[in-house]
A and B are shown apart, each in its own frame.
Chain A
Amino acid sequence: MTLSEGPVAAPLLSVRGLTKLFGSFAACNAIDLDIAPGEIHALLGENGAGKSTLVKMLFGVLQPSAGQIVWQGQPVTIGSPGEARNLGVGMVFQHFSLFEALTVAENIALSLDPRISLSKISDEAATLSKAYGLPLDPKAHVADLSVGERQRIEIVRALLQNPKLIILDEPTSVLTPQEADRLFETLFKLKAEGRSVLYISHRLEEVRRICDRATVLRHGKVTGACDPKQETPASLARMMVGSDVAEVLRDGGAALGDIRIEVNNLSVTARTPFAVALKNVSMKVRAGEVLAIAGVAGNGQGELFDALSGEYPVAEDEAIRIRGKAVGRTGINGRRLLGAGFVPEERHGHAAVSAMALSDNLLLARSQSDKKAFLAGGAFSVIRFDAIRSATKRICEAMDVRKSGEDPQAGSLSGGNLQKFIVGRELDRQPSVLIVNQPTWGVDAGAASRIRQALIDLARSGSAVVVISQDLDEIFEVATNIAVISEGRLSEPHPAETLTLERIGLLMGGIHESQSIAENASGAEAAHAH
């Protein structure tokens, strides 16, 4: 350990040389980690750094290939999550494992001894949730709850086992700033009781705010241990990324041109029971403008993207206009032919087919828009592989896509490189309208800054860009105007300069957060006045 100020008390948990191999790939490579009782310990790292693999080993989901876990001075083998719980380790996963059709109490009961009665669980859950400032109605159905409330169920579920160590995997990635604040209060309460928290995140500000110590991972190895309060975000980022991240450049105030994409009172009913209906969505995006749509996950972003892209055309032709032409009923390729480009949120199995080569994935998005270049033989539509390969090469060079081999499978690229390719695939066409959903979700900082820069440059060159994102830092970096989506409703756009994090947070919370609206009545009313 290169730690300057070591933990005073004997560590609750120490990990020595913990390694996990997947085939020949070391997801975690000889990790050392100490967690003291009563500390909030951050585990920092980019996506793919090995954070999740490490905590899965601590929680018994994965078995280490080598190394030792010492719990309160005793070497232990954690064979399953059950064993981890018995030791006193609780975990709140990034992706919740809740049954939407069941109530809160029923969901909690599923993870407990079946002999405990449901009413007892309800009572205990209610007591606990009150004690820790996690308001929760045990009888509510999970389907009706917001993401923040669902996370509370997971936390209460972990707390019911009276754990000494609670692991939280990226807990704030799905929360509004206000919800996150409330979570932090809970964490401080836990700390005051002498419990330890292992807090996984890649949000540096947050870590600096709440964590006592931090361990930084990169490429499966520990690259630093520090007191985050002593560091700057830049120095933390350096530890995470290994080099300085390029800052996104923008020169404000480019003149806006004609309206490129226009949505008028678009309403779409929910396609599945758990989808979100779009209600009276209207927006206008001009050439040269980046409209960012902020919102907490699951508030209709995916549905809005589906409607804008034409993957699921809408009933009303006039509801969507691209470059003045009504396209509501036109499919995705018809809209591409009008000059629109699309980047969906999910890379694997939506934007790209993982098992196909990059060149095939280029054809995937552009088989109709670039028919003349990529297809020959008239009705037979014979694929011109040479043309597609050279275009693939061009895109990879333009976006600095790092890959092994000339034309590897999309699935073999890292998230950041594949995303650069997927964005580059559209930019290569010089789209006059670009719709992007979560452009840098799960992407390393280097690729993220490159992608954001590309979006800004595209707008500057006279295209209209719509960026749907949950990442407020990203939104402030790229946006000319910002609108917020909440429960399928889109707010009026506001110029980016006039908005603060606080205001957006309130807009994002929507009507779910009745409490915070009451507290900040004036701000919230202004937001819903449209």
Chain B
Amino acid sequence: MRIELEKRARVSTLFSIISPLLALLLTLVFGAVMFWFLGKPPLGSLYVYFIEPLLEVWSLHELAVKAAPLILIAVGLSICYRSNNWNIGAEGQFTIGAITGSILPVLYPEWHSWAILPLMMIMGMIGGAAYAAIPALLKTRFNTNEILTSLMLVYIAGLFLDWLVRGPWRDPKGYNFPVTKSFQVEAVLPEILDSGRAHWAFIFALVAAVALWFMMRFMLKGFQVSVLGQSERAGRFAGFSARRMVWFSMLLSGALAGLAGISEVSGSIGHLQPAISPGYGFTAIIVAFLGRLNPLGIIASGLVLALTYLGGEAAQVALEISDKAARVFQGMLLFFVLSCDTLIHYRIRLVLAGNQTKEVKA
């Protein structure tokens, strides 16, 4: 006996649409089972995790704060993945973007001008793009696997930030804590509304998502991305350059991750410190796939994944379970998204030996 994945003759449109929702539902069911095993009331825990954070204005603001970097990074990654370039190192590009964007407020804390914020954002994007250029260069020059190089560069970026804030950039008046000086008020991204902490990064995320959706849907550039992603040879026949696409997609996703990094530091934290991200760059990979690599879908999936972060924090307090539960939820979600997508295209068949021949009439 064996199990076969058999390609379906037709792909159901209905299930293609509801697949992410189905994945979400399965995650909730298995999440409930997990809570039950942990000895917590399953339904009550799910309520704390996924409903309570949506009931108050301040926590809706928190949701936007957490969703902003996820969406910004994920829309960039979606272009990468569509073009068959596997940038796994957005976390590192996020970190480097945060560092290069912070150069002005850290080194020139006395500079008070409206120009400082736009410059910080631009420098953050340049930093993220430059960091993504390393795997792009290695791939185009030496045919190196970008999955490995971009991933390894994440840890280098993290340690570099650690060294900076403990060493040269440490605030001398900071009681020896590994933090930089707090940014001057002109270097802090303003809040969108008076009612809470949500800041301009969320606007950046929405603009980026809509712009890239337009590009993918209506522009020749988006067409190039899809063609080269599906067949490099067909892309070459069309006269599109796969090398240039490596550069385009890596620099774009790097720049957006860098923008997410400096926005997070400038808008949410207000200074540099060793830990500036709860793994946004990795979670954004899940966001990208849950959003079906569609920039508009990513807005929705970014909000869902942001909710797992908020729920995780709430669950620590209310249910006294580890914040690792958020990671478990994210992992389950990715697993179910990918499984649902597979089962849309394939059906599972059990093949029992000896049942293939049908008796024929003599």
A residues at B contact (CB < 8 Å): 16-17, 22-25, 63-69, 75, 77, 79, 309, 311, 331-333, 336, 342, 344, 346, 349-356, 360, 363-365, 367-368, 375, 377, 380-383
Contacts and interface: CB of A to CB of B under 8 A. Distances in A.
Contact of B218 (A65, A353, A382): A382
Contact of A355 (B8, B221, B230): B230
A344 B357 contact: no
Nearest to B356: A63
Given A77-B356, A380-B219, A23 B236 contact: no
A331 B239 contact: yes
A311 B240 CA distance: 10
B237 A350 contact: yes
Nearest to B354: A77
A383 B360 contact: no
12 contacts: A17-B360, A66-B357, A67-B357, A332-B239, A336-B239, A342-B237, A349-B230, A349-B233, A353-B234, A367-B238, A375-B220, A381-B220
Contacts of A333: 239
Contact of A352 (B8, B234, B353, B356): B234
Given A23-B8, A23-B10, A16 B239 contact: no
Interface string B312-350: 000000000000000000000000000000000000000
A13 B239 CA distance: 52
B236 A311 contact: yes
B264 to A, nearest CB: 30
Nearest to B232: A349
A23 B218 contact: no
B231 A350 contact: yes
Contacts of B353: 79
A64 B223 contact: no
Given A75-B357, A311-B237, A382-B218, A360 B9 contact: no
A381 B219 contact: yes
A351 B220 CA distance: 18
B112 to A, nearest CB: 37
Nearest to B220: A381
B227 interface: yes
**Residue from the set B6, B7, B239, B360 with the largest chain A CB neighbour count within 10 Å:** B239
Contacts of B239: 331-333, 336, 367-368
Given A67-B358, A363-B223, A364-B238, 13 more contacts: A63-B351, A64-B357, A67-B357, A69-B357, A77-B354, A77-B357, A311-B237, A331-B239, A354-B230, A360-B227, A364-B237, A365-B238, A383-B219
B277 interface: no
Contacts of A17: 358, 360
Nearest to B229: A353
Contact of A381 (B8, B221, B226): B221
Given A350-B237, A382-B219, A24 B9 contact: yes
B360 A356 contact: no
Contacts of A349: 230-231, 233-234
B3 to A, nearest CB: 14
A380 B211 CA distance: 12
Contacts of B233: 346, 349-350
A333 B359 CA distance: 59
Interface of B: 6-10, 218-221, 223, 226-227, 230-231, 233-234, 236-239, 351, 353-354, 356-360
Contacts of A342: 237
B357 A351 contact: no
**Residue from the set A64, A367, A375 with the largest chain B CB neighbour count within 10 Å:** A367
Nearest to B215: A380
A352 B231 CA distance: 9
A383 B9 contact: no
B223 A367 contact: yes
B360 A353 contact: no
B150 to A, nearest CB: 26
A356 B360 CA distance: 43
Nearest to A351: B237
A367 B228 CA distance: 14
A25 B360 CA distance: 21
Contacts of A365: 237-238
A405 to B, nearest CB: 13
Nearest to A385: B218
Nearest to A360: B223
B237 to A, nearest CB: 6
A68 B234 contact: no
**Residue from the set A25, A368, A377, A382 with the largest chain B CB neighbour count within 10 Å:** A382
Which 10 pairs across A and B sit closest by C-beta, in order of nearness? A23-B9, A333-B239, A381-B220, A349-B231, A66-B358, A63-B356, A364-B238, A350-B233, A332-B239, A68-B360
**Residue from the set B10, B220, B223 with the largest chain A CB neighbour count within 10 Å:** B220
A67 B357 CA distance: 6
B55 to A, nearest CB: 43
A323 to B, nearest CB: 19
B175 to A, nearest CB: 53
A270 B360 CA distance: 55
**Residue from the set B219, B233, B237, B351 with the largest chain A CB neighbour count within 10 Å:** B237
A22 B220 CA distance: 36
Contacts of B354: 77
A350 B231 CA distance: 7
B223 A65 contact: no
Contacts of B223: 360, 363, 367, 383
Nearest to A384: B218
A93 to B, nearest CB: 22
Nearest to B347: A23
B231 A353 contact: yes
**Residue from the set B230, B356, B360 with the largest chain A CB neighbour count within 10 Å:** B356
A36 B238 CA distance: 52
Contact of A350 (B7, B226, B234, B359): B234
Contact of A332 (B220, B226, B237, B356): B237
A67 B9 contact: no
A349 B314 CA distance: 49
A352 B353 CA distance: 39
B220 to A, nearest CB: 4
